[in-house]
Structure 1
Amino acid sequence: MTSIQFSSVLLEKNSRSLSYPSLYCRATGDVVEDKIDGAWLLYDKGTYDFSTYFNSLSVQKLQHYTRATKYVLHLELKGAGLTVQQTKGGVFSAHPEPVGEPRALPANDEWQTMDIDLHIDHDAVIVGFIFETEGRVALRNSYYALEVEGDLRPVELALATTTFKKESYIKRNIGLIKGNILAGTDDIAKHFHMYVIDNGRTLDVDELSDEHVTIRPNENVGGAGGFTRGMLEAMGQKTPATHVLLMDDDVAVSPESIKRTYNLLRILKDEYADAMISGAMLNYEIGEDQWEDSGYMSDAGAFRPAKPPLRLTQFEDVVYNEAFKIPKDIRPEQRYSAWWYCCIPTEVIREEGLPLPLFVRCDDGEYGTRCRRELITMNGLCIWHMAFNLRYNAAVERYQTTRNTMIAQCTTGFAKRSDFLQELHHNVVLELKKFAYANAELCLDAFEDFLKGPKFIAQPGAAEESFMRANRNKEALVSFDELQQQAESLHIDGFDVSQITRQLVDGDRPRTISQRLQDYVTDNGQRLMKTEGRGYAVIPMIGWVYPAGVIRGKKYLIVIDWYSKRGAIRTKDVDAYKRIARRYSRDLRYYKRNIDRLRTEYAAARDELTSVAYWKHYLQMD
């Protein structure tokens, strides 16, 4: 048997822990950092419950995926007397359930240690512990230890992050890695390297690099190119990495998540040695909300989270998050792990090839479904990322997503069950109904670039230029002051930007069956029964929103990006609608005549586009 310190009892002092302390500890008293003693003070007499997202132990998954045979809670404490009660969470647990008898520890001004063998019931999903204190107690160096059958796996972990002119985010994360992982005494410090692929070439290489952190200036090749560069660097280092952890730059991360990932890799069963570890995305703005914990492609061709939204300060959601079983209608070949936090064995990369040169969007989805490996998720393995609705970009969602999903499906068989042609049709019609003619044309730009075949995407520089073109061609937003001026020049009676409220922007109204049918047949009065429209409506800028009731029959739509305080005015234009409809029909005819040839050409290009030789040339590494 081998013993391993698997996960630390985690308390942090940052904006998330201060705003959402129940991610760490539910307490009736204050929990305060003692900077002098390097400990945490449970400041008052009371109850301190560590059966939480970060401080419970996911025993059900550990039993399933790892060789762990015994679980021990190690505590170091001093101060007032207290009792320690082991808890568990079962599938039907609404609150932490006590397990066994509480253990008492008398008051002492010197540090005391306590090791508790944890009892694992047959229905335990997670286990944790609760303190009942008689006064102030200090806590330090506490953790869950596991006894493991056999030797620990040798792991060389490389972290690869791609950045483009987001210096504040990346410098903060480098500092966290250096201060909490590389400067520590844990085993990971000797088997870890961080690669920062700087697509913007704005970071100071000499200032930030050291023996364990490499800043690599790179051409602007998007996330796909940057992460591929990280993979190549990891596999080519002096002691080749066994695993590469891909992580976005504009995220907040707890170093403890990385440590737990490393420890998990060391104790996996043989049948899960090639699994990918997928970290959850929590909402950067609402830090207790989980946005996605692995995803999948729907049959309709949309990216979807595999789990429903969860609030991870709630005990029942913490349990649900671990007990969740992927529904049978989500096929394994449709699932993926997003690259905001995804750990991939380098042996899998050697077997399956490198990513496709897609620049941004769908690169992670394509790669995950291509590799078809087990996806391991676990409480405490996560990052905080800005929610997608806060950073909607039509150049990404209408151009990149449309083009890349079609390319990926033809090249590597990505999401075979998904109908991306139907998704294209849905998006084009949706944008036309909302008079978003520029964004509808982005969909067709993407479709036509897909129709050019693999030679187009294979050209170095083509992906960046096409994305820059899409950003130039997307609908332009202006400040609220300029928006008011535009409304006045168009004689839009009654519009006053100072009176805009969130309620107005997000509002809608119901439609009758006959109104719904009319809107469907006429695309909001732009075909067959053409109408000029009257008045205006205020709607959100986000592309997938369809406030059908308020937009019907209008001449102007004033779109608002609430978060950037910018907007645009769309004017109903039947001529523009007809031009785009004709273009779409022409593209569909070409697609139907040539799709078999295109599928053959894309499939034939797969080996080249995912090869080391191709990527080294693409990245100018040869």
Structure 2
Amino acid sequence: MTSMKFANILLETNPRSVAYPALYCRSDHPVIFNEAQGEWEMYGAGTFDFSTYFNSLSVKKLKQFTKAKSFTLHLELKGAACEVQQTMGDAFAHDPIEVEGVRQELPASSQWQSVDMPLTITDDMVIVGFIIKTEGSVDIRNSYYELEIDGDLNDVELVLSTTTFKKEAFIERNIGLVKEQIVESADPIAEHFHMYVMDNGRTLDAEKLTSDRITVIPNDNVGGAGGFTRGMITAMEQDPKATNILLMDDDVAVSPESIKRTYNLLRILKEEHREDMISGAMLNYEIGEDQWEDIGNMTPQGTFAGCKPGMRLTLFEDLIYNEMFTPTKWQRDNMYAAWWYCCIPISVIEKNGLPLPVFVRCDDAEYGIRCKTGFITMNSLCVWHMSFFERYNAAVERYQTTRNTMIAQATCGMAPDADFMKELHNNIRLELKKFGYANAELCLDAFEDFLKGPEFIKKPGQSEKSFMAANRNKEQLVDFETLQAQADKDPELAGFRIEDVDRQLIDGDKPRSMPERLEDLITDNNQRYVKKDGSGYAVIPLQGWLYPAGAIRGKHKLIVLDWYNRKGYIRTKDVKRYEAIKKRYARDLKYYKANIERLRKEYTAARAELTSIAYWKHYLKMD
């Protein structure tokens, strides 16, 4: 049996830990950091519950996926008298349950006292944790869960690869955290780790930021797909060769402890799980206790979706649900791990090839579905990421997503039963009803680029050109001051004042009768069959998937607002433009029906080349 420290008891000082302390410790008194001593003080007599997202132990999954056989809690405490009690949660638990017979009492002491408490683990336990009940202030330091492993530890060389494009504040902070808390730490990971930063924007000071085990590489703007692929190739060719690569977005906040636990998890995986991907969760950057997704799937409708419902990770019952969730058969067959935090074995890359050259969007989904590995998720493995509402970009959602899902399905067989043509039809029609003609045209641009076949995306630089063109062709939002000036010049928008807009107006809609619903369905908001200019205006949100049907019906103008970024755009109903788009769409569909079988064969034949090291090295100018 081999002993190893698996997870530190984590307490942090950052905006999320201050705003959402119950991710770390639930208590009826403060937990205060003494910076001079590097210690934490549980302040005052009270109960401090560490059965939390970061400080509970996922014993059910550890028993399932790893060689762990027994579990011990190590604590170092000093101060008032206190009692340490093991807790657990089973499938039915709403609150931590104290485990009978597993507790230790400590007398008051001004000296540090160590607690090494073997934990009782039964088959029905999902997570375990502990509570400290104090009679006064108690300090805590150097505390962790220790595991006994059946056999030797796995040899692991971990690469962290992140791709950045002009996100200096995020990436420089993350480089600093990694350097201080991983590379310069005394933990075993420090000697078996390297971080590569692919700087697609070439805006970082590579010489200044590069140091021992951290390398910043200036790169062409080849998107996330190109940056992460370069990270994969570099990881395979480094000495010693990496065993696993952790892909992580640039615009995230991360706790280095999550990376340490990922490394430790890799060291103890059972042989049959060593080629599983580890999928870290996306927590909401703005609402730090909320989990958006930790494993995704391509739906039958052809959309990206999390497998799990949203979780609030300060709720104990959600910690249990997060660990117990079982995907449906559809989800298992069409499952992927998003690359905001995804750890992939190098052997899986060698077997399945590299990603497709699609620049951004769908690269991670296609790759996860293609590789058909198992997926491991676990409480505490996560990043905080900006929500999709706050960074909506029509060039991504209407051009990139439309084109890339079709390419991925045709080339690598991604989600063969997902209906991307139906999704295209729905998106075009939704944009037309909302007078989003430029966005509908982006959908058709994407569709037509797919119809050009694999030779189109194969050319180095083409993906960047296409994305830049989509950004030029999308609606060009203006700041609120400019928007107001535009509205002031338009008699139809008389009375509009941006300062009068609030969330209630943005989120609101109006009810429709059944005849009104039928009319909207048949006429696309009076642009087909029954053609009316409409009158007045409505204020609606930017996000393309939203459909405030009652608010927009019968209107001539729509003021579209990006509420989060304080920008907007004025749309005007244009029946002639609507008709031109419909005519173009009909022409494209005719070509699609006549050529789709040929195109599928061409894309399938191109797969080996597009996912090869030789192709990518040429594409990335590495040869």
Matched, 1:71 2:71: yes
Alignment of 1:207-606 (within 5 A): 207-330=208-331, 332-492=332-492, 493-606=494-607
**What's the offset of the Cα at 1:196?**
0.4
Which residues of structure 2 form unaligned runs of 5+? none
- Corresponding residue for residue 166 of structure 1: 167
The amino acid that maps onto 2:266 is L
- Structure 2: distance between partners of 1:327 and 1:33: 44
Post-superposition Cα deviations, 1:534-566, rounded to whole Å, max 9, x if no partner, equal: 111110011100000111111111111111111
Matched, 1:15 2:15: yes
- Structure 1: distance between partners of 2:591 and 2:248: 39
Post-superposition Cα deviations, 1:361-392, rounded to whole Å, max 9, x if no partner, equal: 00000000000100100000000000000000
**What's the offset of the Cα at 1:481?**
2.3
- Structure 2: distance between partners of 1:209 and 1:567: 40
The SS at the match of 1:308 is coil
The SS at the match of 1:545 is coil
| Larger mean Cα displacement after TM superposition, 504-513 or 219-228 | 504-513
- Corresponding residue for residue 150 of structure 2: 149
- Structure 2: distance between partners of 1:483 and 1:19: 35
- Structure 1: distance between partners of 2:368 and 2:279: 10
The amino acid that maps onto 1:109 is S
- Corresponding residue for residue 118 of structure 1: 119
The amino acid that maps onto 1:547 is P
**What's the offset of the Cα at 1:482?**
2.1
TM-score by length of 1: 0.99
- Structure 1: distance between partners of 2:453 and 2:278: 33
Pick closer, same or farther for the CA change 1:496–1:471 going to 2, 3 Å: same
- Structure 1: distance between partners of 2:456 and 2:406: 14
**What's the offset of the Cα at 1:9?**
0.3
**What's the offset of the Cα at 1:203?**
1.2
The amino acid that maps onto 2:389 is N
The SS at the match of 2:111 is strand
The SS at the match of 2:521 is helix
**What's the offset of the Cα at 1:325?**
1.2
- Structure 2: distance between partners of 1:409 and 1:328: 19
- Corresponding residue for residue 199 of structure 1: 200
- Structure 1: distance between partners of 2:233 and 2:450: 27
The SS at the match of 2:517 is helix
Alignment of 1:4-43 (within 5 A): 4-43=4-43
- Structure 2: distance between partners of 1:526 and 1:316: 50
- Structure 2: distance between partners of 1:37 and 1:534: 68
- Structure 2: distance between partners of 1:443 and 1:276: 32
Matched, 1:54 2:50: no
The SS at the match of 2:512 is coil
- Structure 1: distance between partners of 2:546 and 2:53: 32
**What's the offset of the Cα at 1:165?**
1.1
**What's the offset of the Cα at 1:190?**
0.4
The amino acid that maps onto 2:619 is Y
- Structure 2: distance between partners of 1:604 and 1:187: 44
The amino acid that maps onto 1:356 is L
- Structure 1: distance between partners of 2:99 and 2:587: 68
- Corresponding residue for residue 96 of structure 2: 96
- Corresponding residue for residue 105 of structure 1: 106
- Structure 2: distance between partners of 1:510 and 1:325: 37
Post-superposition Cα deviations, 1:93-118, rounded to whole Å, max 9, x if no partner, equal: 11100002332011111111111111
**What's the offset of the Cα at 1:168?**
1.0
- Structure 2: distance between partners of 1:550 and 1:184: 57
- Structure 1: distance between partners of 2:417 and 2:174: 38
- Structure 1: distance between partners of 2:142 and 2:542: 49
* Seq. identity, %: 63
Post-superposition Cα deviations, 1:221-243, rounded to whole Å, max 9, x if no partner, equal: 00000000000111110100000
- Structure 2: distance between partners of 1:481 and 1:146: 59
The SS at the match of 1:124 is coil
- Structure 2: distance between partners of 1:32 and 1:310: 27
- Structure 1: distance between partners of 2:449 and 2:63: 48
The amino acid that maps onto 1:232 is I
- Structure 2: distance between partners of 1:485 and 1:218: 40
| Larger mean Cα displacement after TM superposition, 483-492 or 463-472 | 483-492
- Structure 2: distance between partners of 1:412 and 1:328: 20
Which residues of structure 1 form unaligned runs of 5+? none
- Structure 2: distance between partners of 1:512 and 1:120: 58
The amino acid that maps onto 1:569 is I
RMSD value, Cα? 0.8
The amino acid that maps onto 1:328 is K
**What's the offset of the Cα at 1:485?**
2.5
**What's the offset of the Cα at 1:39?**
1.4
**What's the offset of the Cα at 1:532?**
1.1
The amino acid that maps onto 1:293 is D
The SS at the match of 2:530 is coil
**What's the offset of the Cα at 1:329?**
3.9
- Structure 2: distance between partners of 1:207 and 1:537: 51
- Structure 2: distance between partners of 1:370 and 1:578: 39
- Structure 1: distance between partners of 2:341 and 2:479: 35
- Structure 2: distance between partners of 1:309 and 1:182: 34
**What's the offset of the Cα at 1:122?**
2.3
Post-superposition Cα deviations, 1:148-183, rounded to whole Å, max 9, x if no partner, equal: 101000000000000111111111001000100111
Aligned residue pairs total 621
Post-superposition Cα deviations, 1:237-266, rounded to whole Å, max 9, x if no partner, equal: 010000000000110000000000000001
- Structure 1: distance between partners of 2:76 and 2:479: 56
**What's the offset of the Cα at 1:499?**
1.1
Post-superposition Cα deviations, 1:410-437, rounded to whole Å, max 9, x if no partner, equal: 0000111211000000000000000000
- Structure 2: distance between partners of 1:61 and 1:298: 26
**What's the offset of the Cα at 1:498?**
2.0
